Amino acid sequence: MATINHVKTFLSQAIDGADDATVRWVLKSIWDESDECSFQAAQYLLVHDPEGQVTYALKRKASGGPPPQESAHKRAKAEDDSHEAAQPPVPALKPRYETCEHCSEVYDVMENYDEACCLHEGELEIDMDHFVDDDEVIELDGAIDTSTDWRVEAYPYAFTWSCCDGKADGEPCLVGRHEPTQTTIV
């Protein structure tokens, strides 16, 4: 018979081996089935948003509201009455983890300090004078993909940022807080 520790070991391996979409699907399936799991997921993935809009959850009367054949006036009156049974305000929430609009890094909003986002806004350009003996660079006339080419890491002094003339391994010229990408929750 398997012990809980045995199951946890295999479960950990299964999670590590699954792709992101599968893990998201499993997590959403679990929280959809259980209020307790939803609450636990919220503890890890949501934080209070002091700048967000506070919402009010309304309780419907036991009858479920007026039947559709009633007049618009009676339906409006019933809606007004249902506001009397309103629950306390629900605090505004936001995701704890966001993707930065500028650097595309996923960050924890609780740890987003003034110098968290560091980047260059320009392009990394090759200095051809450093590669006069590199046939591949000469053949491509310097048109290499600087985001993936091994030479950038090996020879950072041979690449310059167009935005600040700094070397590839130099300090970023833009430093500030991460800014979340603009997403709409439906």
pLDDT, one tens digit per residue, over 79-126 is 555 555 556 676 788 899 999 998 889 999 999 999 999 988 888 888
**74 within some domain:** yes
pLDDT score for 55: 57
pLDDT score for 12: 93
Q: Do 145 and 107 fall into the same domain?
A: yes
Q: Which domain does 73 fall in, by range? A: 55-90
pTM of the model: 0.58
Residue-by-residue DSSP string for 66-110 = --TTS-HHHHHHHHHHHHTTPPPEEPPEEESEEEBTTT--EEEGG
Interval 111-121: pLDDT, tens: 999 999 998 88
Interval 30-47: pLDDT, tens: 989 988 999 999 999 999
Is the pLDDT confidence value at 69 over 70? no
Q: Do 136 and 167 fall into the same domain?
A: yes
**22 within some domain:** yes
pLDDT score for 124: 87
**182 within some domain:** no
- Alpha-carbon Rg for the chain, nearest whole angstrom, is 27
pLDDT score for 129: 78
Q: Do 103 and 160 fall into the same domain?
A: yes
Q: Do 112 and 156 fall into the same domain?
A: yes
pLDDT score for 5: 86
Q: Do 63 and 104 fall into the same domain?
A: no
pLDDT score for 139: 66
What percent of the chain has pLDDT above 70? Answer: 72
Q: Do 109 and 166 fall into the same domain?
A: yes
pLDDT score for 97: 94
- Segment 158-168 mean pLDDT: 89
> Which token pair is 17?
């081996």
- Segment 19-30 mean pLDDT: 93
The structural domain count of the chain equals 3
E strand or H helix at 36: helix 35-45
